[in-house]
């Protein structure tokens, strides 16, 4: 009489949830904005204050990876960096403007992504924007640094990466 139930199986991940763990810090490295919210409270000038805590993947790039439109060029740019980290080639292609999108995209599994730094971002008008960033990675033990100013356009309510200029 086998009354002992078998051990419970591990629940499968929900469909489409490949990639990062929702509670983990987002790969894009975005921080909470707690530091900038203290209006009227100047404290300890000169000290490196204002650094928030890492934002969870679920509260940062995951919604865009799951299909919601990223609201700004910066959000899209961050989500694309995270997609590189997580190996979401389909997402990278889907957010690439059809006019400049490659037919296929092979992500080098040997690339180790080290971090993203958004230097500047601005809207040129309601449908065009730019984001300047530095992305660091390592491939085969060699450090790489990509400093790019990327262009984005919004079509039918969605932002797309168009292209970019590599900076110094």
Site residues, Zn ion (CB under 5 A): 26, 28, 30, 60-61, 78, 82
Q: How far is the CB of 4 from Zn ion (least distance, A)?
A: 44
The residue (of 104 and 146) whose beta carbon lies closer to Zn ion is 146
CB 148 within 8 A of CB 133: yes
φ, ψ of residue 129 to 5 degrees: the values are: -150, 165
Q: How far is the CB of 25 from Zn ion (least distance, A)?
A: 9
CA distance 128 to 81: 19
Burial (Cβ within 10 Å: 0-12, 13-18, ≥19) of residue 77: buried
The residue (of 51 and 124) whose beta carbon lies closer to Zn ion is 51
CB 126 within 8 A of CB 111: no
Q: How far is the CB of 159 from Zn ion (least distance, A)?
A: 15
Burial (Cβ within 10 Å: 0-12, 13-18, ≥19) of residue 3: exposed
The residue (of 30 and 154) whose beta carbon lies closer to Zn ion is 30
CA distance 58 to 35: 21
Q: How far is the CB of 116 from Zn ion (least distance, A)?
A: 9
The residue (of 30 and 151) whose beta carbon lies closer to Zn ion is 30
Q: How far is the CB of 98 from Zn ion (least distance, A)?
A: 24
């Amino acid at each position: 009489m086998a009354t002992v139930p078998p051990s419970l199986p591990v629940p499968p991940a929900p469909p489409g949830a490949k990639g990062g763990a929702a509670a983990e810090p987002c790969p894009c490295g975005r921080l909470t904005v707690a530091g900038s919210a203290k209006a009227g409270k100047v404290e300890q000038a000169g000290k490196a204050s204002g650094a928030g805590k890492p934002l969870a993947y679920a509260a940062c790039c995951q919604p865009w990876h799951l299909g919601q439109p990223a609201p700004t060029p910066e959000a899209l740019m961050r989500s694309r960096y995270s997609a590189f980290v997580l190996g979401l080639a389909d997402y990278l292609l889907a957010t690439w403007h059809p006019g400049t999108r490659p037919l296929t995209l092979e992500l080098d599994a040997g690339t180790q992504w080290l971090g993203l730094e958004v230097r500047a971002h601005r809207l040129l008008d309601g449908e065009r924007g730019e984001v300047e960033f530095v992305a660091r990675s390592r491939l085969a033990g060699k450090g790489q640094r990509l400093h790019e100013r990327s262009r984005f356009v919004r079509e039918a309510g969605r932002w797309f990466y168009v292209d970019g200029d590599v900076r110094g």
